[in-house]
Chains A and B, each alone.
Chain A
Amino acid sequence: MGQLLGFTSVSRWTALGWIIALLVILPIAAVIWLAFNPTENIWPHLISSVLPVYVESTLLLLSGVGLISLAIGVSTAWLVTLCNFPGRRLFEWALLLPFAIPAYVIAYIYTDLLEYAGPIQSSLRELFGWRTARDYSFPEIRSLGGAILMLSLVLYPYVYLLARSSFLEQSVNIRDASRTLGCNPWQSFYRISLPIARPAIAVGLALVAMETLNDFGTVDFFAVKSLSAGIYDAWLNMSNLGAAAQIATLMMLFVVLLMWLERTSRARAKQFSGADRFKRIERFTLSRGQSLGAFIVCFMPVFFGFIVPLFELASMTLNHLDQFTNSRFLAQASNSFLLSAGAALLTALLALLLAYSQRLKPQLSGLRIAAKLAHLGYALPGAVLAIGVIIPFALFDNALDSWMRANFDISTGLILSGTPFAILFAYSVRFLAVSSGSIESSLAKVTPSMDMASRSLGANPLETLKRVHLPLIRTGLLTALLVVFVDSMKELPATLILRPFNFDTLATAVYQFASDEKIEAAAPGSLLIVLVGIIPVILLSRTITATRDAA
């Protein structure tokens, strides 16, 4: 068939890659297009008043969340993968659990605990006989520092996941060699494991950075004036969507700059995993003191990022058990589950096809750039992305409708707008970066000589993908599915805006209460988001481990 049409099979892949990249870029392009149509030039006002504040708090937020996520994610990933200490097997998956907690939920919970009226400060006042806030000082949770901590607690799992699968996929032989040559655990980590894992860690960090940039719920609740606050202000309060799109476009440019910096600093370093990846990992045995240290390092993020919020949610839920008997609750849970599963599969498929089509023609830099641009959807605040989806969908629907009316006197109305498909598409655009991150970094570790061998034995690109690559990148693929599933469960702003009539997910149902700061009434729904989210976390984490242990 391909021969008949005069296409080689590789160029069909290239065409497919382009189609996917362009589709995903569509909403991003729509936002950039909006940026050219502001109602008023907002920059003189911004520069003379709040822009310095926006930029400063955004940069502080980014670097704070980035550093803390990096420290927690990499250290714990290395410990559970390469060291032996009590609880290691448990932590392997438990360290992922905070990921299931939406950032806005953890922010509410810690505010409830730590604010002036909360149980901790109240007990302290009682204990020491303080009367008012002026009698003592206590760190304010609703602050930039608080926002950094909250976001770090739920975002470090990105770094952990990617660092861990990279440590798992690394050649055991290299590490063995380092130990034969006398490296202690720390030296082996610092001089061997870390440099090899760097591309994967960078991907994890990029995801953390973009998620931090697009966050609005947490920063708004903590009254932190970041750039996304500026976007909403220009759009909603100054009725200047164009100006909002300009700020959003600037944010995307900033992300492009970061990506480019990371890339050039890594230069051309490329590693491929050897054939020994099914060899068993020899773990470092830690002394008693070291074991205790490792335990504490792994326990803290799980405790503060998962156990405390889960406990709080569960105890608040006790007051609102009647919600579970509400028949809408089941429908909300099933909507959430189906959308998230669909988004996970669709996004992984798109990411895989996109990555593989680039691999087949590595010299094609146009496609590579387009594929990178397709990741930018993740840096956009959800509500802005939703507008980016509304515009092309409505354009398509209305054009089709007009054409059908003109030619057949039939009105097709809105076919795509306001359907679950629009939400699914938005999720795919939003989370393609997440999916691609882990699939690309896995695929990059498969040595090209495998492709050559397979192709010279007569397999076409698709067969090669199915029989050679898929088994080798299983870990990366599973990671991609897992992360997008959980992220979609939590997604709120785009879902809220794009959904059909009478359609709720758990997140939108929770938001109805949470937006009114009825945190208690929001607890049962939040709890269910977390519980539905942790099932795949545990299952997939076990499978990821099994890819190594199976040998």
Chain B
Amino acid sequence: MFQVNTKRFSSVVTISTVAALSAAPQASLAEEVNIYSYRQEFLLRPLLDAFTAKTDIDVNVVYASKSLLERIENEGRNTPADILLTSDIAPLFDAKERNLLARIDSAEISANVPAQYRDEDGTWVGLTARSRIIYTSKERVADGEISRYEDLTDPKWAERICTRSGKHSYNLSLIGSLIEHVGEAEAEAWLAGVKANLARKPQGNDRAQVKAIKEGQCDVALGNSYYFGAMLTNEKEPEQQEWADSVKLIFPNQADRGAHMNISGAGITANAPNPKAALALIEFLTSEEAQRIYAEVNYEFPVRPGVARSALINEYMGEFKADDINLTRVAANRGAAAKMVDRVGFDN
């Protein structure tokens, strides 16, 4: 007696919930491509809509900030994911190491994206580039006072530098590039030197550092380049325009190796159910049209040469020398960089 009852009750609960929840997002029979994305969906939507309008291929997205690699790995040959999309080199590097990505064979992509921003074995492709730059206070830092990452350790910046957590992937990637350029010991000394100059415990995101400069909490900060555009044009929160107005942008190391670069990128999964559509989408994302959207909506640098940068980027950033170090080597140093952050006590 009880078996029937409880079973019925629990199955009614679960079935009705699952049925009600599954009803809505059921995709149509049209051709489709599925993305597991580490980038927020609202940043991608304009691009995906343009793709669907052009090709009639529907694009489905799961966005998460972590765990997508584990999901692909465990789902194995039945994974529904066609594309892994990231805002950083690190997950692409990891996915490749774990054999989760297929080779992308496309003359079009090879022609669109310079080798510096592609995996040498063809498993991932950079879609946009961003630089990790130095923001300085217009009021309190004179022109030419700082021009290299290495300058951040100068004692004159004591209690004047702000940054987000050393464990954030953007900082780990910067540290990883330093390890590659100057060696582990010197990189660690650099990190300890920056730590000694911090105005406050590392916290907040990149915008929060610019805000802190505006508010006078610090004079110098590390941050990704595109946030400047996003702040300067933020009409919903006009106070962000004031933050942007209070800083200058320094592209570091112009006289030597160039400013540190990172990418947002994509790869096709090894067991992709729709590899053709996936390839079509990635080709589209490297097209002139998509690259322009990237540049205009999100103020990132197009990876494709010759695509016009947005007027704003041209006005404030101009041409600069980018560090052309192999990104795979930078990503491989991430674990060492994370441990270095621990040893130096950078976040404590």
Partner of A390, one of B10, B60, B61, B74: B74
- The interface bits of chain A over 494-520 (1 if a CB of B lies within 8 angstroms of the residue's CB, else 0) are 001101111100001001100111101
A residues less than 8 Å from B211 (CB atoms): 117
B residues less than 8 Å from A308 (CB atoms): none
**In the bound complex, do residue A398 and residue B78 qualify as a contact, i.e. CB atoms below 8 Å apart?**
yes
Partner of B216, one of A131, A233, A497: A131
**In the bound complex, do residue A501 and residue B80 qualify as a contact, i.e. CB atoms below 8 Å apart?**
yes
**In the bound complex, do residue B67 and residue A391 qualify as a contact, i.e. CB atoms below 8 Å apart?**
no
Partner of A420, one of B22, B27, B335: B22
Among the 9-residue stretches A74-82, A247-255, A279-287, A338-346, the one with 4 or more Cβ atoms under 8 Å from chain B is A338-346
A338 to B201, CA, bound (A): 41
Q: How far is the CB of B334 from chain A (nearest CB, A)?
A: 6
**In the bound complex, do residue A116 and residue B217 qualify as a contact, i.e. CB atoms below 8 Å apart?**
yes
**In the bound complex, do residue A225 and residue B236 qualify as a contact, i.e. CB atoms below 8 Å apart?**
no
- The interface bits of chain B over 92-115 (1 if a CB of A lies within 8 angstroms of the residue's CB, else 0) are 001001000000000000000000
A residues less than 8 Å from B94 (CB atoms): 239
Closest to A40 in B: B335
Interface residues of A in 146-165 (CB under 8 A from B): none
Partner of B17, one of A238, A339, A398, A499: A339
**In the bound complex, do residue B17 and residue A223 qualify as a contact, i.e. CB atoms below 8 Å apart?**
no
Take A349-B9, A424-B18, A497-B66 as given contacts and tell me if A502 and B335 are in contact as well, using a CB distance cutoff of 8 Å: no
**In the bound complex, do residue B342 and residue A512 qualify as a contact, i.e. CB atoms below 8 Å apart?**
no
**In the bound complex, do residue A462 and residue B201 qualify as a contact, i.e. CB atoms below 8 Å apart?**
no
Partner of B40, one of A320, A461, A516: A516
- The interface bits of chain A over 77-91 (1 if a CB of B lies within 8 angstroms of the residue's CB, else 0) are 000000000000000
Interface residues of B in 1-54 (CB under 8 A from A): 1-3, 5-6, 9-10, 13-14, 16-18, 20-22, 24-25, 27, 34, 40-42
**In the bound complex, do residue A424 and residue B342 qualify as a contact, i.e. CB atoms below 8 Å apart?**
no
Q: How far is the CB of B272 from chain A (nearest CB, A)?
A: 14
A residues less than 8 Å from B308 (CB atoms): none
Check: A449 CB closer than 8 A to any chain B CB: no
**In the bound complex, do residue B205 and residue A500 qualify as a contact, i.e. CB atoms below 8 Å apart?**
no
**In the bound complex, do residue B172 and residue A223 qualify as a contact, i.e. CB atoms below 8 Å apart?**
no
**In the bound complex, do residue B216 and residue A462 qualify as a contact, i.e. CB atoms below 8 Å apart?**
no
Closest to B77 in A: A398
Check: B314 CB closer than 8 A to any chain A CB: no
**In the bound complex, do residue A346 and residue B335 qualify as a contact, i.e. CB atoms below 8 Å apart?**
no
We find that the number of chain B residues with CB closer than 8 angstroms to chain A is 71
**In the bound complex, do residue B70 and residue A320 qualify as a contact, i.e. CB atoms below 8 Å apart?**
no
Check: A236 CB closer than 8 A to any chain B CB: yes
Check: B253 CB closer than 8 A to any chain A CB: no
Check: A394 CB closer than 8 A to any chain B CB: yes
- The interface bits of chain A over 397-417 (1 if a CB of B lies within 8 angstroms of the residue's CB, else 0) are 110010000000001011001
Interface residues of A in 223-243 (CB under 8 A from B): 223, 225, 232-233, 235-241
Partner of A341, one of B10, B17, B342: B17
**In the bound complex, do residue B13 and residue A223 qualify as a contact, i.e. CB atoms below 8 Å apart?**
no
**In the bound complex, do residue A346 and residue B10 qualify as a contact, i.e. CB atoms below 8 Å apart?**
yes
A residues less than 8 Å from B10 (CB atoms): 346, 349
Interface of A is mostly: helix
**In the bound complex, do residue B67 and residue A497 qualify as a contact, i.e. CB atoms below 8 Å apart?**
yes
A residues less than 8 Å from B20 (CB atoms): 338
B residues less than 8 Å from A50 (CB atoms): 342, 345, 348
Closest to B5 in A: A462
Check: A142 CB closer than 8 A to any chain B CB: yes
Check: A101 CB closer than 8 A to any chain B CB: no
Take A238-B339, A394-B75, A521-B236 as given contacts and tell me if A512 and B42 are in contact as well, using a CB distance cutoff of 8 Å: yes
Closest to A417 in B: B75
**In the bound complex, do residue B347 and residue A223 qualify as a contact, i.e. CB atoms below 8 Å apart?**
yes
Q: How far is the CB of B23 from chain A (nearest CB, A)?
A: 10
Q: Chain A contact residues (Cβ within 8 angstroms of B): what range?
A: 35 or more
Q: How far is the CB of B214 from chain A (nearest CB, A)?
A: 8
Take A390-B71, A414-B80 as given contacts and tell me if A237 and B25 are in contact as well, using a CB distance cutoff of 8 Å: no
Check: B291 CB closer than 8 A to any chain A CB: no
Check: A114 CB closer than 8 A to any chain B CB: no
Closest to A508 in B: B63
A residues less than 8 Å from B17 (CB atoms): 338-339, 341-342, 420, 424
Check: B191 CB closer than 8 A to any chain A CB: no
**In the bound complex, do residue A223 and residue B202 qualify as a contact, i.e. CB atoms below 8 Å apart?**
yes
B residues less than 8 Å from A501 (CB atoms): 25, 27, 34, 60-62, 80
A residues less than 8 Å from B79 (CB atoms): 414
A515 to B39, CA, bound (A): 11
Interface residues of B in 205-224 (CB under 8 A from A): 205, 207-208, 211-212, 214-217
Check: B254 CB closer than 8 A to any chain A CB: no
Partner of B21, one of A133, A335, A413: A335
Partner of B13, one of A237, A342, A395: A342
Interface residues of A in 306-362 (CB under 8 A from B): 319-320, 331, 334-335, 338-339, 341-342, 345-346, 349, 353
Partner of B65, one of A16, A237, A390, A496: A496
**In the bound complex, do residue A237 and residue B14 qualify as a contact, i.e. CB atoms below 8 Å apart?**
no
Take A339-B21, A394-B76, A512-B42 as given contacts and tell me if A53 and B60 are in contact as well, using a CB distance cutoff of 8 Å: no
Partner of A232, one of B66, B78, B97, B202: B66
B residues less than 8 Å from A421 (CB atoms): 14, 18
Check: B192 CB closer than 8 A to any chain A CB: no
Interface residues of A in 70-120 (CB under 8 A from B): 116-117
A residues less than 8 Å from B233 (CB atoms): none
Check: A270 CB closer than 8 A to any chain B CB: no
Q: List 5 A-B contacts (CB under 8 A).
A: A45-B339, A53-B348, A116-B217, A500-B25, A502-B60
3 tightest CB-CB pairs across the interface, nearest first? A342-B17, A501-B60, A462-B2
